[in-house]
A and B are shown apart, each in its own frame.
Chain A
Amino acid sequence: MIESVPPRSKAPAPAAAKKRAVGGGFARYLVVRFLLMIPTVFILVTLVFLLMRTTGDPLTAALGGRLPADQLAERIHAAGYDRPLIVQYIEYIGQVFTGNFGRTLSDNQLVTDVLFRYGPATLELAIYALIVAFIVGIPLGMLAAYLRDRWPDAVLRVFAILFYATPVFFAGLVLKLIFAVGLHWLPASGRAGARNEVALNRVEGKTGIHLIDAIRLGDGAIIGDVLAHAVLPAIALGLLTAGIFLRLVRTNVIGTLGQPYVDAARSRGVSEFRLVRHHAYKPALIPIITVIGLQIALLLGGAVLTETTFEWKGLGFQLVQYLLARDFVAVQGIVALLAVIVAVTNFIVDIIAAIIDPRVRY
């Protein structure tokens, strides 16, 4: 690798930095990309803080009207919400950088504890949804590219748009109506049956990911129950992403099918199906990896809705409970924490993309 003069590295935009960070190769890209994560997290945390605080303090929001004015003022003073905003802001940023996202008002718990208790459930749901998206989206996208501009392509594309156009909670309700209420094939809500839930919570050193805990218990009935509960939520959330994958794979495979090397293969007499399956498929998957990074944000938003639909007791479900309880300290903490998670996942995805496709680094 030829070492060239590093450019003036004052470009803060990730996209611009990616293009300008010539030379130094992977290690340099890793460092630049890592440093870019810091302003992102900082800005999001600041934005959430400013949005939540400029309109008033969380205590008035939660208790206003329920407590006499003098008692309320006392509580506000004790919590320090009557100090200048800038002082509170500096204190808050300091706390966030030491990993302290505050305590919830309604049940006085550390926000980070809330994350550790309910996060695994959300992670589990997101992974199931991604699996559904891969299984449905990628083969169908390749099929649509293979049959492009013919009627099956049109049908598949309308399906992709339908997947996107259907709100996850409506998809969830319809699935529930058909498979849980109508056919009685699958459970309508929750993560496991009541008795199994108790058993799973007693597992020593539990991960919180029900499937792993169930496998460790070694009880086939519980594993089956956990999986049965996961099917409908995973499909509801997964189809949304599947539609996006389908469109992306189709567009990219059609793009690579026009490349000179594919033309060369075609002129050697390689069948059109083999061209899609072997020649155009792999390069077309690289953008998918990058897009997964953006999907994390969509999946998290979708998880909030899916968890509410299916009473899947994860982070999103909990967030809505705090919203309804008007506990804005908890909301602020969870949202800020999610901002950090989104930024870190995007960083990891970008690094994986760079390992797979060297062009990203330049």
Chain B
Amino acid sequence: MRLRRFLGTLPVVHQFRQSVGLQRGMLVAGLIITGAFALLAILAPVIAPYGFNQLSTDGESFGSQQPPGGDHLLGTTVGGYDVLSRVIWGAQTAFFVIIVAVLLSIFVGVLLGLVSGYLGGWVDRVLVVIADAVYAFPTLLLAIVAGIVISKGQSDLVGGVFAAAISITVVFIPQYFRVIRAEAVRVKAEAFVESAKVVGASTPRVMFRHVFRNSTRTLPLIFTLNSSEAILTLAGLGFLGFGIEPTSAAEWGYDLNRSISDVTSGIWWTSIFPGAAIVLIVLGITLIGESLNDLADPRLRARRRAAATPADAVAATVPAAREDLGEVR
């Protein structure tokens, strides 16, 4: 029972219990696809037949633009890399960039949003105007500018991965800032914040212990939406030639960029597979985000047909409420 109650407070588990029918299907599908890519990323060294920058085995070159089949299940690229291996290793790059980009932007965005929303004053106003201005700007262009600054236009090191992650961070900070600030403004008017102040809690304590804990309910949702946007931005940067060099990591956007000319001559395997990988991973993450969004909005939440008892009805929306209602099993 304890475990059930604890699990019910975790973000995704709670929503999973709440969901029914189609919505549960979408959530499960999203979780499965994303999980599969996570496994692919972790197990890349074991699964991938070759290294992401490997051009030959035993001194024998792979050859460029080899059609799928034989030693190379998905063929080879114009640069002579194995397509399957680069697709698999690309999952690792994608997850690495998501983790760095989203963690950094959550950290900075949440901190700024909390301080700005809770303390208010002119700092708040200036930050809001800046965040609004940045938010209205094309994310890809901003990421390009940030990318130029960070890598000075030279993306030849493993640092390219970090450069890409940080340029995406710059774009996402305003989004977290806006959400957390709005929540902080709402929460700081609540009675418990007032009580904490009366008891004599310091400003940082009130801010991080009382306001922050109660401002995070929308974070999982933005987290998923941002992760998918991070992958698309990374691929966009790679496609424009601002990504990561093929020797330092596998990146799907870069591979697609190199396949533009292949497409015109009818060579399909160099573009379809990395592209399908992008579509699938973004689809998986977006399905999760979309389901979380619907479940958070009572207008869109599909309801269970009928509840047997009032306790059942409450239990459908509030995790572990049965015990609280005094129902004994």
Contacts and interface: CB of A to CB of B under 8 A. Distances in A.
Interface string A306-321: 0011000000000010
Consensus secondary structure, chain B interface: helix
Contact of A304 (B240, B259, B278, B302): B240
B272 to A, nearest CB: 7
Contacts of B134: 43-44, 47
A55 B236 CA distance: 23
A357 to B, nearest CB: 20
Interface string A246-257: 000001001100
Interface stretch (A26-34, A111-119, A209-217, A293-301): A293-301
Contacts, number: 175
B259 to A, nearest CB: 7
A161 B287 contact: yes
B263 A177 contact: yes
A13 B132 contact: yes
Contact of A300 (B141, B266, B282): B141
B155 to A, nearest CB: 12
A328 B139 contact: no
Contact of B148 (A39, A328, A343): A328
A3 interface: no
A55 B140 contact: no
Interface stretch (A90-98, A124-132, A166-174, A279-287): A166-174
A342 B264 CA distance: 34
A83 B237 CA distance: 32
B240 A176 contact: no
B148 A43 contact: no
For chain A, give the interface size range: 35 or more
Interface string B223-256: 0000010001001100111100000000001001
B275 A167 contact: yes
A43 B271 contact: no
Contact of A161 (B21, B129, B133, B290): B290
Contact of B283 (A47, A165, A176, A301): A165
B41 interface: no
For chain B, give the interface size range: 35 or more
Given A154-B22, A161-B286, A300-B141, A342 B299 contact: no
B171 to A, nearest CB: 10
B26 A176 contact: no
B239 A181 contact: no
A332 to B, nearest CB: 8
A258 interface: yes
Nearest to B268: A177
B25 interface: yes
Given A149-B302, A174-B275, A177-B268, A39 B236 contact: no
A320 B238 CA distance: 12
B236 A305 contact: yes
Given A161-B290, A167-B239, A52 B145 contact: yes
A54 interface: yes
A181 B263 CA distance: 8
Contact of A320 (B125, B153, B240): B240
A51 interface: yes
B149 interface: yes
Interface in B266-316: 266, 268, 271-272, 275, 278-280, 282-283, 286-287, 290, 299-300, 302
B217 to A, nearest CB: 20
A149 B22 contact: yes
11 contacts: A39-B129, A39-B133, A51-B149, A165-B282, A167-B279, A174-B271, A174-B272, A176-B264, A177-B268, A177-B272, A181-B266
- In the complex, the 5 A-B pairs of residues with the closest C-beta atoms, listed nearest first: A301-B140, A170-B275, A165-B282, A301-B138, A43-B133
Given A10-B125, A158-B287, 16 more contacts: A16-B128, A43-B129, A55-B149, A161-B286, A162-B279, A164-B286, A167-B235, A170-B271, A188-B264, A251-B300, A254-B299, A297-B136, A297-B137, A320-B241, A323-B144, A323-B240
